[in-house]
Chains A and B, each alone.
Chain A
Amino acid sequence: MMRSLRTRLLAGVIGGMILLLTVFSLLLYGVIRSALVNQFDTSLSSVAQILAASVERGEDETEEGFDARHMSELQEDETEQGFDAEQMPELQDAGQPTYYQLWGPDGTVLAKSPLLGDRDLPRAEGLLEAPVFGTSRDEGGRPQRTVSLKLGPSRAGRGEENGSSSTNERAFVLAVARDAGDLQGQLRVLRWLLLLASVGMTTLSFLLGEWIVRRGLGPLNSIAAEIAAIRVDHLTTQIGAGHVPAEAIPIRDRLNELLSRLEAAFKRERQFNADVAHELRTPLAGIRSTIEVTLARHREATEYRTALCDCLEITQGMQSVVNRLLMLARLDARQISFKREPVRLAELVNSCWRPFADRGQERQIVFENCIPTETTCQSDPEHLSMVFSNLLDNAVEYADAGGRIWTTAHRTEGSAEITVSNTGCRLPPEQVSHVFDFFWRGDSSRPDTGAHCGLGLALVQRLVMALGGNTTAELQEGGVFTMRLILPITPWK
Chain B
Amino acid sequence: MRLLLIEDYRPLQQSLAKGLREAGFAVDATGDGQEGLWYAMGNEYDVIILDLMLPGMDGLEILKKMRSQGRQSCVLILTAKDTLQDRVAGLDLGADDYLVKPFAFEELLARVRALLRRGYQARNPCVEIEDLRIDLTTQRVWRGPEEIQLTPREYALLEYLAMHTGRTICRSDIWEHLYEFDSSASSNVVDVYVGYLRKKIERPDRPALIHTIRGRGYRLGAEP
Contact = CB atoms under 8 A, between A and B. Distances in A.
Interface of A: 274, 277-279, 281-290, 292-294, 296-297, 307, 310, 313-314, 441, 443-446, 448-450
A237 B15 CA distance: 47
Leading 3 A-B pairs by shortest Cβ distance: A293-B19, A285-B102, A285-B101
Contacts of A278: 53, 80-81
B9, B53, B78: residue with the most chain A Cβ atoms closer than 10 Å: B9
Given A274-B81, A285-B101, A286-B9, A445 B18 contact: no
B127 interface: no
B55 A274 contact: no
B83, B100, B103, B105: residue with the most chain A Cβ atoms closer than 10 Å: B105
Interface in B54-111: 55-56, 78, 80-83, 100-106, 108
B8 A449 contact: no
Nearest to A279: B80
Given A277-B80, A285-B12, A286-B9, 8 more contacts: A277-B82, A278-B81, A292-B19, A292-B105, A444-B55, A445-B32, A445-B55, A448-B11
Contacts of A283: 9, 11
A443 B53 CA distance: 11
A443 B58 CA distance: 11
A282, A313, A314, A444: residue with the most chain B Cβ atoms closer than 10 Å: A282
B140 interface: no
A290 B101 CA distance: 13
B164 interface: no
Interface of B: 8-12, 14-16, 18-19, 22, 31-32, 53, 55-56, 78, 80-83, 100-106, 108
A276 to B, nearest CB: 10
Contacts of A287: 11, 102
A307 B12 CA distance: 11
Given A274-B83, A445-B32, A448-B10, A289 B15 contact: yes
B19 A446 contact: no
A211 B3 CA distance: 77
B37 to A, nearest CB: 15
Contact of B15 (A290, A297, A441, A448): A290
A449 B11 contact: yes
Contacts of B102: 281, 284-285, 287-289
Contacts of B11: 283, 286-287, 290, 310, 313-314, 448-449
**A contact patch SS:** helix
26 contacts: A281-B101, A282-B101, A285-B12, A285-B78, A285-B80, A285-B101, A285-B102, A286-B12, A289-B19, A290-B12, A290-B14, A292-B19, A293-B16, A293-B19, A294-B15, A296-B22, A297-B22, A313-B11, A443-B56, A445-B32, A445-B56, A446-B8, A446-B9, A448-B11, A449-B10, A449-B11
Nearest to A450: B9
Contacts of A284: 101-102
Contact of B106 (A292, A307, A314, A445): A292
A474 to B, nearest CB: 24
A293 B9 contact: no
Given A445-B32, A446-B8, A448-B10, A285 B19 contact: no
Contacts of A294: 15
Nearest to A284: B102
Contacts of B101: 281-282, 284-285
Contacts of A297: 22
Contacts of B56: 443, 445
Contacts of A443: 55-56
Contacts of A310: 11, 14-15
B55 A293 contact: no
A293 B31 contact: no
Contacts of A289: 12, 15-16, 19, 102-103, 105, 108
A80 to B, nearest CB: 127
A274, A277, A285, A448: residue with the most chain B Cβ atoms closer than 10 Å: A285
A105 B54 CA distance: 131
A284 B101 CA distance: 8
A281 B9 CA distance: 11
Nearest to B13: A286
A44 B166 CA distance: 142
Given A445-B8, A446-B9, A446-B55, A293 B18 contact: yes
Contacts of A277: 80, 82
A292 B104 contact: yes
Contacts of B32: 445
B157 to A, nearest CB: 21
Given A283-B11, A296-B22, A445 B31 contact: yes
A222 to B, nearest CB: 34
B62 to A, nearest CB: 15
Given A274-B83, A310-B15, A296 B105 contact: yes
Contacts of A444: 55
Contact of B105 (A274, A293, A441): A293
A277 B79 CA distance: 11
A296 B19 contact: yes
Contacts of B19: 289, 292-293, 296
